[in-house]
Structure 1
């Protein structure tokens, strides 16, 4: 049984439509796939309609959160995977709406800074290409830079124009992770921190922070991920065992925006069944 619990569609920063993501999962021979777009559930309905016999869809989202470092006080970006929550939860609907607006405002501001600097980027065109309820992200700007012939790939765009520290970078106000865990739990869902020790992405949370989040109600940690090397995976497995956290594995598939193929990393079926058994907010979609 092959299970991938982290994948994105065009409703955030992937390049496959929600239905296209389902097709990609089938071609990859997956039995279970989760749709986890950033800060939106807009793709759930389309993906559910496309599920064929033999495939199961896990509705989810990847929430943009922050955690205060206990030593420096610095705000650390943490991506929180949420599964099988009630998408109609009023608190969650309001917070996801705020996050999407934060993302769109940031995207436009970055595009405007580029245009003001003489780069061939049209902010209106960048925004018009987003689906109505999609969460905008820097990969959308990367695509604009590729169309303009300024870069050859998404990674080239990030290295040259979009990374933190670039003159075009704009931050945003994300949700405190403790609040996000509480909201998902109240909506009947379960939570897993995505790529928690992916140090190539920037500062990461400390083990003591992870312990506090486990006590708060965090369900698991995504360990088998393309951005975790073998020593990091071993370190996280030890922490997860100590803290009683479930261990997942996922590709973090983004279509052509990232090189990793869907199904490149997977979750153990026993862990998957445990995740599903703990959730009460919504149900998996069985083809």
Structure 2
């Protein structure tokens, strides 16, 4: 059975591979299917879809997106698979969410500049990283290149990680809002990497149950950084609630150098048969 990867990023958000380079690499790796799930944008989907159909008819392309939302002051991500990237209402919703991301990035720049003495602004970031969705990874790359830190990880550990003094949460965009937008669009909403939210078992299950009420369809139960017992727990949680299982590497290219496409940190394997159930749902 061949592998698939349902969570990847390109230069349209915070990956370092162009859309075409990512599709080439997926085919080189022998993947049966690949989803492009850039942060809060569908900008690369039509290019990827056309490119794969023309060049790699033996590989399936799954159009997707990863919405960044806030739950109780913490980031929670929702992946949408098989989204209709030409739906104008969906595009309008994404635009409104992007405005929230931009305001958050402006505020984070202001805090870093005024409180930490770092020469940074949203204008500087957009000039340095044009035509892309600015994420915290771009903050980290800028601060490393300018010598404010010795590693990208230090940026998240000291400055803009969820519990750090210069972090600013996004306003108003909840997981429910993202799920409702995906459902209305005809896509399949998946709770991304739930283990990474470091919730208690009871709290995570309560979140899952709550999100199911607005249409949550599945969990990312197979993921690059999971230990074997964590993958087992996520699969059991999905089974308890009749949810789909999804999985992916969360590949970002050089921005996450330890994570490779399709295999994550070396042990990841997302079997192609899980896509059958997801396709049936969509």
Match of 2:27 in 1: 26
Unaligned runs of 5+ in 2: none
Larger CA deviation: 122-131 vs 258-267:
122-131
Q: Secondary structure at the match of 1:140?
A: helix
Match of 1:220 in 2: 218
CA–CA distance in 2 between the matches of 1:179 and 1:161?
Answer: 28
Larger CA deviation: 8-17 vs 264-273:
264-273
CA–CA distance in 1 between the matches of 2:124 and 2:28?
Answer: 33
Query: 5 Å matches for 1:1-287?
Result: 1-51=2-52, 52-53=55-56, 54-67=58-71, 74-116=72-114, 117-121=116-120, 123-132=122-131, 134-199=132-197, 205-258=203-256, 259-264=258-263, 265-279=268-282
CA-CA distance at 1:174 after TM superposition: 4.7
Contact 1:100 1:136 in 2 (8 A): no
Unaligned runs of 5+ in 1: 68-73, 280-287
CA–CA distance in 1 between the matches of 2:185 and 2:11?
Answer: 25
Change in 2 beyond 3 A, CA 1:198/1:118: closer
CA-CA distance at 1:187 after TM superposition: 1.1
CA–CA distance in 1 between the matches of 2:87 and 2:11?
Answer: 23
Change in 2 beyond 3 A, CA 1:213/1:165: closer
Equivalent pairs counted in the alignment come to 271
TM-score, with length taken from structure 2? 0.86
* RCO higher in structure (CA 8 A, sep ≥6): 1
Q: Secondary structure at the match of 1:192?
A: strand
